[in-house]
Amino acid sequence: MTTVESPTAAGSGANATASFRTTEAYHAGTAAVSPQRVSTVVKAVLQGVHQAIRDNDVTYPEFQAAKAWLIEVGEGGEWPLFLDVFVEHVVEEVAARTQQGTKGSILGPYYLPDAQRLPATATLPMREDEKGTPLVFSGQVRDVDGTPLGGAEVDIWQADDEGYYSGFAPHLPDGNLRGIVVTDDEGRFEITTIQPAPYQIPTDGPTGKLITAADWHPWRPAHLHLLVRAAGHRTVTTQLYFQGGEYVDNDVAEAVKPDLILDPQERGDGTNTVTYDFVLERD
């Protein structure tokens, strides 16, 4: 019998940090931001904090508790977890103001680069006894003018039927339910996988302590993660959810958008099917 170990907040944070450190954004660092923007944004953040203290009559014990918590978040390596869950959705919302095409959503902390490349019609890598309702997810990748984008990459990753991600749960094989599907000449793809489950963000560290102290719930609705990219086009980072799914209406990360909710149909053999097309704008 396999022993299932739940991912820890520290482990998830460490893996997410290691993944982020491989990105161009990390290596660009503050060099990609002008001193004027640093000053403007940091002043605005501090002013917001100062005003919250005034508006809520924050006491010294409350301030010291907040200071202790911030220290714990850093020492526990949970900044990627905290920022991805509670902050990223607003950054994405601002970015979307000037973007065309498919709606975006947050990347989240569970992305891993360099997944296995797969043909346009493919089954995601999974265990022989992978539990869950089979799902066939198909669609087309097009330009904003309707031109099919052959050779586009649909980079997809997801939780399993118990809410665990490979690379972040010790009992899962590397690459489980992850893949980069390359579209055919007409920009089409068909991916066979399983429907993921909702999952609880790790609560054993300081992020969980905050959630408990505020009496919030720690759950995210079931979803598919996607990075859809094609040469000469803006990469779309998004998540697709499932109609009627638990927590769709009260996602802890506040990342659900109506345009991103799927409505799978059962085809008679126990398999659900759903179609969703992606539209990419030019760089």
Convert the pLDDT of each residue in 102-157 to its tens digit. 999 998 888 999 999 999 999 999 999 999 999 999 999 999 999 999 999 999 99
Q: Domain count for the chain, please give it.
A: 1
Mapped onto helix, strand or coil, the DSSP state of residue 8 is coil
Exposure string of 221-236, with b = 16+ CB inside 10 Å and e = fewer, is bbbbbbbbbbeebbeb
pLDDT of residue 29: 66
Under a CB-based contact definition with an 8 Å cutoff, are residues 199 and 31 in contact? Answer: no
The pLDDT assigned to 17 comes to 75
CATH, residue 141? 2.60.130.10
pTM: 0.86
Identify whether the C-beta of residue 134 lies closer than 8 Å to the C-beta of residue 270.
yes
Question: Which residue, among 18, 3, 2, has the nearest Cα to 168 in the 3D structure?
Answer: 18
The predicted-structure confidence for 197-249, as pLDDT tens digits, reads as follows: 999 988 889 999 999 999 999 999 999 999 999 999 999 999 999 999 999 99
- Banded model confidence at residue 9, pLDDT cuts 50, 70, 90: confident
Q: What is the pLDDT of residue 30?
A: 63
Q: What is the pLDDT of residues 162-183, one digit of tens each?
A: 999 999 888 999 999 999 999 9
CA distances from 121 to 99, 181, 189, 210, 275 (A): 29, 8, 6, 43, 14
Q: Is a pLDDT exceeding 70 seen at residue 89?
A: yes
Whether 81 shows a pLDDT value over 90: the answer reads no
What is the predicted pLDDT for the residue at 234?
94
Average pLDDT value for residue range 269-276: 97
Q: What is the pLDDT of residue 1?
A: 43
Segments forming the whole domain that contains residue 216: 1-283
Q: How confident is the model at residue 7 (pLDDT cuts 50, 70, 90)?
A: low
Mean pLDDT of the chain: 91
